[in-house]
Amino acid sequence: MMNVEEEIEKLKVEIHRLGSKQQDGSYKVTFGLLFHDDRCTNLFEALVGTLRAAKRRKLLTYDGELLLQGVHDHVEILLKPTSPPPQ
């Protein structure tokens, strides 16, 4: 059974690795870059599902509901700034 929270944490790491940091501390990456990345391909069985789960939790934003490879490669995914872990 897949743990959605773990998948989302992995996704955040990959967006930090592949994306570009914005002035507000958020990270921006295109769906195509994530989808075609070898490491992401091996990590995520259901990248689109993990993205949707993270979007439902308001951790990231992107236009549309369902992202499709090829059609939506240009769609920008914005990972919202995360607060530092509590001390």
In a domain, 59, yes or no: yes
The pLDDT value recorded for residue 11 is 96
The tally of domains found in the chain comes to 1
The pLDDT value recorded for residue 2 is 58
For residue 18, give the CATH number of its domain: 1.10.10.1540
Whole-prediction pTM value?
Answer: 0.89
- What is the C-alpha end-to-end distance of the chain, expressed in Å? 31
Rounded mean pLDDT for each run of 10 residues along the chain, 87 residues in total: 85 96 96 96 92 96 93 97 59
In a domain, 71, yes or no: yes
Could you tell me how many helices (H) and strands (E) the chain has, helices first?
4, 4
Domain residues for the domain of 71 are 4-79
In a domain, 57, yes or no: yes
In a domain, 35, yes or no: yes
In a domain, 85, yes or no: no
